[in-house]
Structure 1
Amino acid sequence: MTSKLQSIFTLPILTSLLLTGCGGGDDSDQAKAPLIPPLAQTEVVIGPASQGAQMKWPDRSTINGGAGKTLDGVGCLLNEDYHIHAHLTIIYNGETLRIPKNIGLTGCAYELHTHDWSGVLHVETDRQKQFTLGQFYSVWGMPLSRKNVAYLQSDEIRFFRVNNGRVAEYLDDPVLMPITAGESIIIVIGPLPPTLPRYTWPGQ
């Protein structure tokens, strides 16, 4: 009698454990997968002041940034045989901040610089070169890490790249993130917004 009762009560428990082991991991894996917000439906045309209105930083490079000498492999531009643009956005606690104008235009015009408040990063060199986001921050004179972006510190900092309407999260060291023509780099500090900004380049 005892063995029969043990069999009756043991079978449902074993069945439950087997089901949990076979299929229960899918939901937990999906729950752990990092959320990537979709792009907003409304497009923002990149222009001289297409970024947010709040200014967190003064214009131009800081005293720790470029001042006319080669810095972190970025020198003064010689000519514009190679000229591309990328775009940078920083969202801090839900608010888009302005990227300062004239970064990299102190002492000389660096191969990597900004002109206005659009967030456009200009790469202008005598030949094709690959620069990184870390090099831009060096010219700016600001720190860049997964815990500190231009002195905005948080345990919640994520980096996204947008190419041709597709969003991908960058999970490596942000200092090494390549700057690619026509790409939008979006840094989110703090809680994720419901959507990421969708930018369009003039004339495209």
Structure 2
Amino acid sequence: MSSTPAPSASPTSSPISTPPPGLGATPTPIQLAQGGVLGIDTVGEGNTATGGQGQTVDGLTCNNLVTPYHVHAHVSLLVDGQRFAVPDVLGFFKPGAEVNGYTANAQCFYFLHTHDADGYIHIEGLAPTAFTLGELFDIWGEPLSSTAVAIFSGQVVAYTATAAQGFNQTTGPFTQYQGDVRALQLVSHEEIVLEIGPVLITPPNLPAVIFYTSK
């Protein structure tokens, strides 16, 4: 995978009220699938040289523990209305072979990681833990702030939605996250949308996602 130059965006950009061409007012939910690639796959590598390379990151170790706590969130990255893929093997050190778009093995894993490039975030631990989006990006080795997401720069707008208890599909309404985006907690069956404009897709034009795991 290769990187592309980051599109610029005005720090004073504001959301548009209508979706870009091709998006309807009630978008079809996105069915996530193991081994999938969701978006333009040019953001870069998941196991970057500046990220987790086996060392402790933000107090999180790389290990092969069997963890009783294992839930999943999803991260969408939209730039000027275009979807870009969150890369695979984020949080892997010396990953094994990829099979059908999915990498199952590595020398060690961080508790936050991806097996494929569809934005499916695996959240593991010895007990339920309040992991954050900032920790995920630090393991990735890419910047995350109010003005940057990975290789892209500009004003960052974040939206979240979660699935109701016992259901796999996120339900509305999406709400705009107003705090420090690095402090945004990763919880089970949560959809996190990170956008950089000036073209922004706003609720109700953001699609729900359907998780393929029960939690």
Q: Does 1:201 align with 2:200?
A: no
Matched ranges for 1:76-155 at <5 A? 76-77=62-63, 78-106=65-93, 108-155=108-155
Write the distance in 2 (CA, Å) between the matches of 1:37 and 1:73.
Answer: 42
Matched ranges for 1:32-111 at <5 A? 40-47=26-33, 48-49=35-36, 51-52=38-39, 54-77=40-63, 78-106=65-93, 108-111=108-111
CA displacement at 1:85 relative to structure 2: 0.3
CA displacement at 1:203 relative to structure 2: 6.6
Higher helix share: 1
TM-score by length of 2: 0.72
Read off the aligned partner of 1:71 and give its amino acid letter.
V
TM-score by length of 1: 0.76
For 2:159, the equivalent position in structure 1 comes to 160
Contact 2:89/2:116, CA 8 A, preserved across alignment: yes
Write the distance in 2 (CA, Å) between the matches of 1:184 and 1:174.
Answer: 14
Contact 2:43/2:84, CA 8 A, preserved across alignment: no
Write the distance in 1 (CA, Å) between the matches of 2:26 and 2:121.
Answer: 22
CA displacement at 1:139 relative to structure 2: 0.2
Q: Which runs of 5+ in 1 are unaligned?
A: 1-32
CA displacement at 1:60 relative to structure 2: 2.5
CA displacement at 1:34 relative to structure 2: 7.1
CA displacement at 1:50 relative to structure 2: 5.1
Percent identity over paired residues: 30
Read off the aligned partner of 2:73 and give its amino acid letter.
A
Q: Which one has a bigger Cα radius of gyration? A: 1
Write the distance in 1 (CA, Å) between the matches of 2:44 and 2:15.
Answer: 33
Deviates more, 1:61-70 or 1:71-80: 71-80
For 2:187, the equivalent position in structure 1 comes to 180
Write the distance in 1 (CA, Å) between the matches of 2:47 and 2:32.
Answer: 22
Q: Which runs of 5+ in 2 are unaligned?
A: 1-13, 20-24, 95-107, 164-170
Aligned residues: 170
